[in-house]
Structure 1
Amino acid sequence: MSQHHPHATGEDRRPHVVIVGGGFAGLWAARAVSSAPVRITLLDRGNHHLFQPLLYQVATAGLSAPNIAAPLRQILRRQKNVTVLLGEVAGISPAEKQVHLADGRTLAFDHLLLASGATHAYFGHDDWAPHAPGLKTLDDALGIRRRILTAFERAEAEDDPAKRDAWLTFAIVGGGPTGVELAGTLAEIARHTLRGEFRRVDPRKARVLLLEAGPRVLASFPESLSEKARAQLQKLGVEVRTGVPVAAIDDEGVQLGDTRIAARTVLWAAGVAASPLARDLGVPLDRAGRVLVEPDLSVPGHPSIFVAGDLASIQCDGKPVPGVAPAAKQMGRHVARSILARLRGATPSAFRYRDFGNLATIGRMAAVVDLHGLKFSGLLAWWFWLAAHVFFLIGFRNRLVVLIDWAQAYWSYQRSARIILGGDRDG
Structure 2
Amino acid sequence: MDSAPTHDHEKNRLPHVVVLGGGFGGLWATRALATAPVRISLVDRTNHHLFQPLLYQVATAGLSAPDIAAPLRHILRRQRNATVYMDEVRSIDVAARRVALAGGGLDYDFLLVATGATHAYFGHDDWAAHAPGLKTLEDALGIRSRVLSAFEAAERENDPLQREAWLNFVVIGGGPTGVELAGTLAEIARHTLPREFRHADVRDARIHLVEAGPRLLASMPEDLSEKTRQQLQRLGVQVHTGDAVTAIDEEGVVLAGSRLASRTVLWAAGVAASPLGGQLGLATDRAGRVQVAADLSLPGHPEVFVVGDLASVSQDGKPVPGVAPAAKQMGAHAAGVIRDRLRGAPGKPFRYRDYGNLATIGRMAAVVHFGRLKLSGLLAWWFWLVAHLFFLIGFRNRIIVLTNWAWSYWTYQRHARIIVGKPPAGGGNAKKNGPGGAVS
TM-score (norm 2): 0.95
* Cα displacement (A) at 1:353: 0.5
Q: Using the TM superposition, name which of 281-290 and 72-81 deviates more.
A: 281-290
Q: Distance in 1 between matches of 2:325 and 2:172?
A: 25
The corresponding residue for 2:214 is: 215
* Cα displacement (A) at 1:102: 2.4
The corresponding residue for 2:400 is: 401
Say yes or no: does 1:28 pair with 2:28: yes
Name the amino acid aligned to 2:364: M
Q: Distance in 2 between matches of 1:322 and 1:53?
A: 14
Q: Distance in 2 between matches of 1:397 and 1:4?
A: 33
The corresponding residue for 1:184 is: 183
Matched ranges for 1:1-150 at <5 A: 3-7=2-6, 10-11=9-10, 12-103=12-103, 105-150=104-149
Q: Distance in 2 between matches of 1:6 and 1:125?
A: 44
Secondary structure in 1 matching 2:129: coil
Unmatched segments (≥5 aa) in structure 1: none
The corresponding residue for 2:362 is: 363
CA deviation profile, 1:148-171 (whole Å, cap 9, x unmatched): 000000000011110010000000
Q: Distance in 2 between matches of 1:8 and 1:381?
A: 53
Name the amino acid aligned to 1:129: A
Q: Distance in 2 between matches of 1:140 and 1:364?
A: 24
* Cα displacement (A) at 1:287: 1.6
Q: Distance in 2 between matches of 1:169 and 1:415?
A: 20
The corresponding residue for 2:260 is: 261
* Cα displacement (A) at 1:317: 2.1
Say yes or no: does 1:332 pair with 2:342: no
Matched ranges for 1:405-424 at <5 A: 405-424=404-423
* Cα displacement (A) at 1:424: 2.5
Q: How many residues align?
A: 425
Decide whether aligned partners of structure 1 residues 8 and 241 sit closer, same or farther in structure 2, where only a CA change above 3 A counts: farther
CA deviation profile, 1:121-141 (whole Å, cap 9, x unmatched): 000000000100000000000
Secondary structure in 1 matching 2:309: helix
* Cα displacement (A) at 1:143: 0.3
CA deviation profile, 1:246-302 (whole Å, cap 9, x unmatched): 000001100112110000000000000000000000112122110111010001111
Secondary structure in 2 matching 1:142: helix
The corresponding residue for 1:224 is: 223
TM-score (norm 1): 0.98
Secondary structure in 1 matching 2:246: strand
Q: Distance in 2 between matches of 1:6 and 1:318?
A: 45
Secondary structure in 1 matching 2:254: strand
Name the amino acid aligned to 1:23: G
For the 8 Å contact 2:4–2:83, the answer to whether it is kept is: no
The corresponding residue for 2:433 is: none
The corresponding residue for 1:376 is: 375
The corresponding residue for 2:389 is: 390
Secondary structure in 2 matching 1:124: coil
Runs (4 or more) in structure 1 with deviation over 6 Å come to none
Secondary structure in 2 matching 1:279: helix
Q: Distance in 2 between matches of 1:224 and 1:102?
A: 49
* Cα displacement (A) at 1:373: 1.9
The corresponding residue for 2:277 is: 278
* Cα displacement (A) at 1:4: 3.2
Decide whether aligned partners of structure 1 residues 8 and 132 sit closer, same or farther in structure 2, where only a CA change above 3 A counts: farther
* Cα displacement (A) at 1:8: 7.4
Name the amino acid aligned to 1:190: A
Q: Distance in 2 between matches of 1:9 and 1:249?
A: 57
Q: Distance in 1 between matches of 2:397 and 2:316?
A: 36
* Cα displacement (A) at 1:106: 1.3
Q: Distance in 1 between matches of 2:246 and 2:262?
A: 14
Q: Using the TM superposition, name which of 310-319 and 69-78 deviates more.
A: 310-319
Secondary structure in 1 matching 2:369: strand
Q: Distance in 1 between matches of 2:7 and 2:374?
A: 53
Q: Distance in 2 between matches of 1:51 and 1:139?
A: 14
Q: Distance in 2 between matches of 1:111 and 1:291?
A: 17
* Cα displacement (A) at 1:5: 2.9
Q: Distance in 1 between matches of 2:366 and 2:91?
A: 41
Q: Distance in 1 between matches of 2:334 and 2:423?
A: 44
**RMSD after superposition:** 0.9
* Cα displacement (A) at 1:6: 2.4
Secondary structure in 2 matching 1:209: strand
